[in-house]
Structure 1
Amino acid sequence: MKKRYIVSVAGAVGAGITGYLLKNQDSRNKLKTKVKKGTDKLWNISREEQTDSTLEDAGVPDQAATNDPAQLENAKMVSEGSQFGVEYYNQVKEVKGRK
């Protein structure tokens, strides 16, 4: 029973503080820009980490640290003569080197 009251009071206090902070247009705009920048930064960090690890694995398919079945399949294709992953890796690294 007490937890319900604590949660209700915390919600009411949070709503009151939020209402006070967002009562004028300038405060709302500042908060919107800060939240947007923060979420964009988080999304970009996670995308870069994911892209870089996948890109690195594509460049050296038989030397990857993970034993992902898709990665093993890529290594098999390279051993059979496919150079798509290696060429893509080299092109991306070349473009990043120019920047």
Structure 2
Amino acid sequence: MKKRYLLSAVGAMGASVAGYYLKDEKNRNKIKEVSNGLVGKIKGNTDSTFENAGVPDQSSETGDIAQLENSKMVSEGSQFGVQYYNDKKDENKLANQQD
């Protein structure tokens, strides 16, 4: 019973602090920018993964283990990732030219 009252009080305090913080337009814009940036990173992550497959040894994300493995396979002679990347890029070019 006491937990419910405690959680309700914490929730009410959190809502009031958030309301006070968000009443200023600058703070609302900051929150929007941060959230849009995070959404962009999440959505853009699949594209960067695809782009990195085409140039495995030129990636700026050197700490990514999958990218290091891909670079290692290409250095050993595997061209599957690079060939797949080139084929998809060609398909996209043809589809854009037809539109």
TM-score when scaled to structure 2? 0.52
Q: How does 1:35-50 map to 2 (within 5 A)?
A: 46-47=42-43, 49-50=44-45
Point out where structure 1 has 5 or more consecutive residues left out of the alignment: 8-42
- What percentage of aligned pairs have identical amino acids? 54
Residue 56 of structure 1: CA displacement?
0.7
- Secondary structure of residue in 1 paired with 2:60: coil
Q: How far off its partner does 1:69 sit?
A: 1.1
Structure 2: distance between partners of 1:46 and 1:66: 15
The structure with the larger Rg is: 1
Aligned length: 63
- For structure 2, the 5+ residue unaligned runs are 13-38
Cα RMSD between the aligned structures? Answer: 3.1
- Map 1:1-99 onto structure 2 (within 5 A): 46-47=42-43, 49-67=44-62, 68-98=64-94, 99=96
TM-score (norm 1): 0.52
Q: Give runs of ≥4 in structure 1 deviating > 6 Å.
A: none
